[in-house]
Structure 1
């Protein structure tokens, strides 16, 4: 039976994509299965990649149901003897972090090594507590998440509440305890942690986000590196921003200011008929931010618009850029996608690849809160220049 180098189980699609992307960027064969229900079909195709990530789409489920889906994912992957088992969690602890980690721990029989820090995106772990750009998580924008507000307590308290006492390591490395929460305030901390993981890979179930997978990828695949020049041309670009977080709104504003040629479609206002013929299209939920629609309604509306535009432009190759995990999942489900063959990253936190491996169907994804304010502007300017 084929063996996997790395198996990643994530609770949402953009998380699976950005956690796997560092391996693809270093030329490891990498695939993301967009939903647990497609895993058996993907495995049946044979020719497993070096790195396989699975989206359990469990972030917003009840905790018990989320735990069952995570356990099923790990039980499906264990027969392929992954060298590294990785439970991807949200870097701001949204979702069922503890319930899913405990289910993964039971299924794998390994101890937890927990470090969800992504210093490159301003997320650090100090004394077992997440900080975002130096601010405690509860006081940040993410503490007001519309659908899945994160907990305010340190990780050790959250695990202890569910019966598992985990010490916090503040000196780097993994320590001797059976389960560990490891502080990380910079990339050097993550690199030390990655080396500790690789010294005893069968001992640990790594728990973290793209920061830790970046460090692991550098250790496992040090020679390969795919340059940004391999990204397909951006003459035709369709950006769908379903995330309603503050950063995503600022990114959209900078894009619109710098690239006035974009045709803007408001998915929740039924104005599809008013969009222009531009090669650069931007889909956002509404003209003004509101809470009239639930996250699920916005995701469905965004997916409908994306599908309608792609069908209208059948025969033209479009780079599809999806922001927000709910939107990315809804779009891919509506397009009947089973997996994404990853090629790498356009920018930190921006994964890209091909829908079902089709080189005529490129896609980029980004979590709503990732990137700087000018990220979409740079993408739009690259598209305008090439067009």
Structure 2
């Protein structure tokens, strides 16, 4: 029997624990058997299905984040379930603390952080962004400290790097290498530059006990998805009847590329409202727009909310700013509006305000931009703040304004390579 068929038949149920909503949606979209993206720890997945849970740890304190991960592992880490901890491909967030909580009680840890589709690779245990070592880029410009020089330094625990030569030496060799390293008690950090490298790691993982846990990017989730079930298309179940719905775009990222993306929408007639960060933080329940028009039009087909760029951003204020923006937008949001949300913290904060607890993944608009539906049919497209080219928001809005039942096109992605 071909090994890929064997892997598909023997792959145990997969539970993905994500650190933010846009990353969770990215994983859900590449797992064919995932029918439920939950915004809180939940019960075990239905038979034959994968489950993706957004633990929302990125905006928490270290203690809160590690506690949420530990709680989720206790809930899901038994009964033949394979666990994948989805972490930021640029190693942001509470990486070391969450890894420690996730690895507790496991029979070993495999770390595979490459995300080739976004130009993020790992060589000699060092994350590279479009060929440049992470610590030599400005990808951490909005983070409170300097970028790590290697995955091992981020982990802060004994680790062994599996170089590309061994990743590509064939499955029997890679299996032996992982088993021997895990037996020594070290976390195994896998280099990767291509999807084929991640596929090799994924196939090897399926030869190991499910008590061996995995930390990876969305690329690792995609590799497991390619093995877990035959590919299948997801058709959009469609929005409720009643004609075209307004689309509200909320841009919570401070990435410079966002301005060009918004400009493409406004050139097509979108109405743009800009908030000052200081005003949102001072008046979180009644943010004051400082836009061309200070009031929200009654039924604008496309309405964009963003935060005015500031010379220097305080990283510690980001969670408070996301919540303040979400409260303000929720107050102004038309009841029947579909949503385009960029930035994981912004997306999760607004969905919390709207009491949304789960999403049905439909498909990708481009890499990282995922169309979902709420239980009542509202369309929600999420995307990490830095992903996508200048036409990203236009494409995301376009996916929501298609006719009901239209499949989301699986199109190639472009990425400006900035921080997520």
TM-score normalised per structure 2 = 0.77
Alignment correspondent of 1:88 = 86
* Native 8 Å contact 1:32 1:341 kept in 2: yes
Paired residue for 1:165, among 159, 184, 209?
A: 159
CA distances 1:302-328 after superposition (whole Å, capped 9, x unpaired): 212331233xx33x3x32111011101
* Native 8 Å contact 1:4 1:80 kept in 2: no
Which aligned runs of 4 or more in structure 1 are off by greater than 4 angstroms? 46-49, 147-150, 229-235, 290-293, 380-386
Alignment correspondent of 1:7 = 15
Paired residue for 2:221, among 213, 216, 224?
A: 213
More deviation in 48-57 or 235-244? 48-57
* Native 8 Å contact 2:340 2:396 kept in 1: no
- Cα 1:298–1:74 shift into 2, 3 Å: same
* Native 8 Å contact 2:19 2:87 kept in 1: yes
More deviation in 46-55 or 325-334? 46-55
Over aligned residues, Cα RMSD in angstroms?
A: 2.8
Which consecutive unaligned segments of at least 5 residues does structure 1 have?
none
SS at match of 2:104: helix
Give 1 or 2: higher helix fraction.
1
Task: State whether structure 2 residue 317 is matched by structure 1 residue 323.
Answer: no
Alignment correspondent of 1:306 = 329
Distance 1:345 1:165 in 2: 34
Distance 1:248 1:116 in 2: 25
Paired residue for 1:373, among 390, 398, 407?
A: 390
Distance 1:158 1:201 in 2: 26
Task: State whether structure 2 residue 86 is matched by structure 1 residue 63.
Answer: no
SS at match of 2:206: helix
Distance 1:289 1:256 in 2: 21
- Cα 1:376–1:188 shift into 2, 3 Å: same
Alignment correspondent of 1:115 = 112
- Cα 1:234–1:79 shift into 2, 3 Å: farther
Task: Give the Å deviation of 1:169.
Answer: 3.0
Alignment correspondent of 1:30 = 35
Task: Give the Å deviation of 1:73.
Answer: 0.7
Task: Give the Å deviation of 1:385.
Answer: 8.2
SS at match of 1:364: strand
SS at match of 1:322: strand
- Cα 1:222–1:200 shift into 2, 3 Å: same
Task: Give the Å deviation of 1:70.
Answer: 0.8
TM-score normalised per structure 1 = 0.84
Task: Give the Å deviation of 1:71.
Answer: 0.9
Which consecutive unaligned segments of at least 5 residues does structure 2 have?
1-10, 168-173, 277-286, 404-420
| Correspondence 1:146-161 to 2 at 5 A | 146-149=142-145, 151-159=147-155
Distance 2:332 2:138 in 1: 32
Paired residue for 1:295, among 307, 313, 318?
A: 318
* Native 8 Å contact 1:169 1:180 kept in 2: no
- Cα 1:292–1:350 shift into 2, 3 Å: closer
Larger Rg: 2
Alignment correspondent of 1:346 = 365
Distance 2:381 2:47 in 1: 22
Aligned residues: 361
SS at match of 1:212: helix
CA distances 1:258-297 after superposition (whole Å, capped 9, x unpaired): x2x10112244613852323111111112x4454773134
* Native 8 Å contact 1:18 1:350 kept in 2: yes
Task: Give the Å deviation of 1:382.
Answer: 5.8
Distance 2:119 2:238 in 1: 26
- Cα 1:102–1:117 shift into 2, 3 Å: same
SS at match of 1:226: coil
* Native 8 Å contact 2:90 2:127 kept in 1: yes
Alignment correspondent of 1:104 = 102
